[in-house]
Structure 1
Amino acid sequence: MEYDLIATTTFGLEGITAKELKALGYEDLRTENGKVYFTGDEMDIAIANIHLRTADRVLIKMAEFEARSFEELFQGTKKVKWNELIPVDGIMHVNGKSVKSTLHSVPDCQSIVKKAIVDSMSEAYGVSHFSEDGPLYKIEVAILKDVVTLTIDTSGPGLHKRGYREEAGAAPLKETLAAAMVLISRWKEDFALVDPFCGSGTILIEAAMIMQNIAPGMCRSFTCETWPTMEADVFEQVREGAERAIKHKDIKLLGYDIDGRILKVARSNAEKAGVSKYIEFHRRDFKEFSSAEKYGFIISNPPYGERLGEKREVEELYKIFGGYKKKLNNWDFNILTSYENFESPFNIKSSKNRKLYNGKLKCYYYQYFDNELIKNNGDMVINHI
């Protein structure tokens, strides 16, 4: 069956997710804020869930229509052939959101959508009561400027939950954002990659998984695998293909942190992700950082100084960081921070910066393109499946 699909993303990552989909062979893509639209069948749902590194979820779009009254919302929802996807025992969990719309009461919208779905299912199945003790169908009613979009989530827990990270540091970086940072850097496996503030190791783990073509969702499950419309071997086939596509490149990544406890977590996370042999983690104070390599890359998420009283300390740290950049003048630096005036203490203007979000926290990704041996003009590091 062909579906209209949506890969949802954090704001600012839509173009990166679209490039991932293109690399996976999808065409006719359309992007909006936080969404990439494409089409596909059950196999494509499995491929997107298992292979996408920067998407949050994969949704099936069931309908889109205008509604300025509860009656229009009810009738528009009831017209959808929910029974083609949801079995008679399916759990129908409805959540919602409304932005700049006449129908602004989200609880009321959720209630009306649920009632309309039940009515539609009742007519299709010829029953008036539903046990709802079968597989889960997480339905969302999203209303933006009076346009209703009804979707069903195929992923379950967000796609950033790869399964390797049981613990994180005090300010965890989402795996999807860490992957995006690597993809939009110019790093290639021929060069050293260092994270001097590695914390629980997320950036380096994602970098190793990208370079070895390890699919991020290979070792986790997805809610749609429990659906009767999803053939049992579809996900198995995609996982087997992903396993065969893994590369075994000779790469070495370096992670430093001053916190010995969090480095134990980083090593454990790398082990679970299957990339521990490619990453060395060392306890080292950032003020003692150095490298003998002429060419290399730094991709890092240093402290932001979010709490009061930390501003001066963070500025001093960024000043030292800028000094390292001047010494390592043939290195590319890629730095994510929420500190608004980063370039001032760093004292070097970036080649490029872009606004990204770590959860709800607005950050900027400062990129310094100085590695003369890189000739790809910043093309994304995506392996073709």
Structure 2
Amino acid sequence: MKMIELVAPCHFGMEAVLKREILDLGYEISQVEDGRVTFLGDLEAVAYANVFLRTTERILIKVGKIHAETFDELFEGTKALPWEDFIPEDGKFWVAKANSIKSKLFSPSDIQSIMKKAMVERLKTVYHRERFEETGAEYPIRVSILKDEVLIGLDTSGVSLHKRGYRQMTAPAPITETLASALILFTPWKKDRILVDPFCGSGTFPIEAAMLAANMAPGMKRHFLAEKWENLIPIRHFQDAKEEAADLVDLSVETDIQGYDIDGEIIKAARANAKMAGVDHLIHFQQRPVSELSHPKKYGFVITNPPYGERLEEKKNLPALYKEMGDAFRRLDSWSEYVITAYEDAEKYIGRKADKNRKIYNGMMKTYFYQFLGPRPPKRKQEENA
């Protein structure tokens, strides 16, 4: 099968997690950059990446990379690309999104318009037509320009991959499913360890952890744009990927995953979301404030996204809230705690400097992933005697 380059965007700071996921799927990495990982695969890889990858926002087929400092260069470079290899005569095509950083071309709407015209001119000469009805399947293009280098990709996913389909109700300031998964995978948590989220909101961290524990692929129950690309990707590739994903699910796994929130209505929403995801039996949700965070067992994990005062009236409550969190952490003295927040005084009021800290952009918001590391559990006797 012909090899192509696929581009997987991710949250800034989570590239290493995504790279590991792609390698685990069996594909070769060709480049790792800020906010994206590029890898080699065949057309079947488009289906498997969409179904199995937890931490990417979408899968793009790399159409090309050109250098453009002027709109003329952008037009000619775009026109030179083999669009007929991807877009059929009746295909609906447009530049769905363009972003530009540190480049001479910076107007998204102008970039989109110029590139669409160039694509039309290319396809006119190939299909010998003056106009296109565009009544067929959709082929949206995404463009990223960095320092005048234009990366052009064909979006195979459609709706962003963070939309797994289970989150019908959300709490204010929810964390995306892809970022939640990436942060869990960034920690040493495994399915046989305890995990508690004391600010669980609509349940994203516990649900993503339960899906990981049950080996449930995030895209096995949803559809992707490329499933309609009869000219390019056989539908059997997606069918095979989803069937394989279904075969790998283990809902009999035993877990200790808990989600707490002070808001009873939000806890109801979290339970409904977990049921929609098919993992409600693997999670215990409870209405409980962070001040009552406790657990009888040792060596557990707290992974959480607490409030960080987006609104001014909330900010005054943060010192007391983070102090309560710190008091609870001290009671769990053998545990490890992982906290993502934009609140810059988090360590001050938690009362402990994080062992590690990573800057992560959650959309356009700069956040910090504070890692308070507990001791490793002693090895089990059977492992020691092996």
State how 1:134-213 maps to structure 2 within 5 Å.
Answer: 134-213=136-215
Shift of 1:374: 7.1
Q: Is 1:128 the equivalent of 2:118?
A: no
Give me the whole-angstrom Cα distance separating, in 2, the residues matched to 1:29 and 1:371.
37
Name the amino acid aligned to 1:160.
H
Cα contact 1:300–1:334 (8 A) shared by 2: yes
Matched residue type, 1:163:
G
Kindly report structure 1 stretches of 4+ aligned residues shifted beyond 4 Å: none
Aligned partners of 1:367 and 1:100: how far apart in 2?
A: 32
- Superposed CA deviations along residues 13-43 of structure 1, whole A, max 9, x for unmatched, are 1111111111111223311111101111111
Q: Give 1:222's aligned residue.
A: 224
The structure-2 alpha-carbon separation of the partners of 1:104 and 1:304, relative to structure 1 and needing over 3 Å to count, comes to closer
Q: How many angstroms does 1:50 deviate by? A: 0.8
Match of 1:368 among 358, 364, 372: 372
Per-residue deviation at 1:100?
2.5
Equivalent residue runs for 1:1-385 within 5 Å: 1-94=2-95, 95-228=97-230, 229-247=232-250, 248-373=252-377
Residues 240-295 of structure 1, C-alpha deviation per residue, up to 9 Å, x if partnerless? 11111112321131111111111111011101111010001111122222222233
CA distance in 2, matches of 1:106, 1:326: 49
Q: Root-mean-square deviation (CA), in Å?
A: 1.5
Normalising by structure 2, we get a TM-score of: 0.93
Q: In terms of mean alpha carbon deviation, does 63-72 or 12-21 score higher?
A: 63-72
Structure 2 match to 1:382:
none
Q: Distance in 2 between matches of 1:111 and 1:313?
A: 47
Q: Distance in 2 between matches of 1:101 and 1:363?
A: 26
Query: Equivalent pairs: percent with the same residue?
Result: 46
2:383 matched residue in structure 1: none
Name the residue aligned to 1:383: none
Aligned residue for 1:178, secondary structure, equals helix
Q: How many Å separate the matches in 2 of 1:374 and 1:35?
A: 37
The one-letter amino acid of 2:195's match is L
Contact 2:361 2:367 in 1 (8 A): yes
What's the CA shift for 1:366?
Answer: 1.0
CA–CA distance in structure 2, aligned partners of residues 365 and 374 of structure 1: 26
Matched with 2:382 is none
How far off its partner does 1:175 sit? Answer: 0.6
Greater RCO, CA 8 A, separation 6+: 1
Q: Secondary structure at the match of 1:356?
A: strand
CA deviation profile, 1:185-243 (whole Å, cap 9, x unmatched): 22122322111111110000000111111001111111111112110211000001111
Structure 2 residue matching 1:315: 3-state secondary structure: helix
Residue 349 and residue 103 in structure 1: after superposition, are their counterparts in 2 closer, same or farther (change >3 A)? closer
Measured against aligned partners, the alpha-carbon deviations of 1:288-336 in whole angstroms (never above 9, x if no partner) come to 2222223311111111122224334211111121112222110111111
Residue 103 of structure 1, CA deviation? 2.6
Contact persistence 2:48–2:241 (CA under 8 A): yes
1:18–1:29 Cα contact (<8 Å) kept: no
Which amino acid in 2 is paired with 1:252? D
Q: Given residue 347 of structure 2, which amino acid in structure 1 is its aligned partner?
A: E
How many residues are aligned here?
Answer: 375
CA distance in 1, matches of 2:374, 2:233: 48
What is the alpha-carbon distance in structure 1 between the residues aligned to residue 186 and residue 194 of structure 2?
Answer: 17
